[in-house]
Amino acid sequence: MDKVFVEGMQFYGYHGAFPEENKLGQRFTADVVLEMDTRKAAASDHLDDTVNYAKVYEMAKHVIEGEPVSLVETLSNKLADVLLRQFPEVTGCTVKIIKPDPPIPGHYDHVAVQVARDRSDI
């Protein structure tokens, strides 16, 4: 299956299990991989025959900068569900939400949750 990647999308949201996260907010990064057959788009060379990347970004922005949730797991699943419902030509998707600066002590690059979903999950 062909894959369309939209990676490194950056947003600011108010998600987290700790009160300071909901009050102060923090950065989030999202990577999305959409599985679909790209042959029709390749043959026609028309945007209408593929996924509009700007719409993918806007949907991610709406979810991540939208209603706060406690867990990145919830956020990842929510975005995967929205993408599969919006784009009927997409047969599956992988969503990775990265939290670069969670309020936990220690030295690490980031924490993240990645989910993989397909049509049967909606």
Residue-wise pLDDT tens digits, 32-85: 999 999 999 999 999 999 999 999 999 999 999 999 999 999 999 999 999 999
Counted domains in the chain:
1
61 is catalytic: no
Global confidence as pTM:
0.94
Q: Identify the band that residue 103 occupies on the pLDDT scale cut at 50, 70 and 90.
A: confident
- SS3 for 119? helix
Q: Which domain holds residue 22?
A: 2-121
**Helix H segments across the chain?**
19-24, 39-44, 53-64, 72-86
| CATH number of domain containing 15 | 3.30.1130.10
